[in-house]
């Protein structure tokens, strides 16, 4: 079975500062990796995904993530955050295209002016 650990439940950061949200996963097989964002009272929106190939993946809203197989990590980064990035971010894995998503517990990003 797969599992996902998001090491930080909350990350406060000032506007225009860089941010990194950490995600580690555990799986005995190859997996697909995802980051989703959830704004208040809304569903989940896909930020980016790693399926194969280049380990650095770029997503929407200026976010990027790097897949590190040896460290089983998939950390999310943004060089300069905006107030509008305040939301909950979820890391997720699935072992194949037909499998369910397994989510981490989420990281609440709070961007301060």
Partner 1 sequence: KAGVTQTPRYLIKTRGQQVTLSCSPISGHRSVSWYQQTPGQGLQFLFEYFSETQRNKGNFPGRFSGRQFSNSRSEMNVSTLELGDSALYLCASSSLGRRDRVYHEQFFGPGTRLTVL
**Residues engaged in binding partner 1 (CB under 8 A):** 32, 36, 41-46, 49, 51, 90, 92, 96-106
**Residue 77 or 94 with smaller CB distance to partner 1:** 94
Residue with tokens 């280049």: 54
Shortest separation between residue 58's beta carbon and partner 1, angstroms: 16
Q: Find residue 93's DSSP bridge partners.
A: 33, 102
Shortest separation between residue 28's beta carbon and partner 1, angstroms: 19
61: left (phi over 0), alpha (psi -120 to 50) or beta: left
72, 73, 75: which is closest to 64 by C-alpha?
75
Going by the DSSP 8-state scheme, the letter that residue 55 receives in this structure is S
Structural tokens at position 50: 């790693």
Structural tokens at position 93: 């894995």
**Residue 40 or 113 with smaller CB distance to partner 1:** 40
**Residue 10 or 105 with smaller CB distance to partner 1:** 105
Shortest separation between residue 83's beta carbon and partner 1, angstroms: 22
Residue with tokens 């301060």: 112
Shortest separation between residue 92's beta carbon and partner 1, angstroms: 8
**Residue 58 or 100 with smaller CB distance to partner 1:** 100
């Amino acid at each position: 079975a797969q599992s996902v650990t998001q090491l930080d439940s909350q990350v406060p950061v000032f506007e225009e500062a860089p941010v990194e949200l950490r995600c580690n996963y555990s799986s005995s097989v190859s997996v697909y990796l995802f980051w989703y964002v959830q704004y208040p009272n809304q569903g989940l929106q896909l930020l980016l995904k790693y399926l194969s190939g280049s380990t650095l993946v770029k997503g929407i809203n200026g976010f990027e993530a790097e897949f590190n197989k040896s460290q089983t990590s998939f950390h999310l980064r943004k060089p300069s955050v905006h107030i509008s990035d305040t939301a909950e971010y979820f890391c997720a894995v699935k072992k194949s295209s037909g499998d369910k998503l397994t989510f981490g517990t989420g990281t609440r990003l709070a961007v301060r002016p």
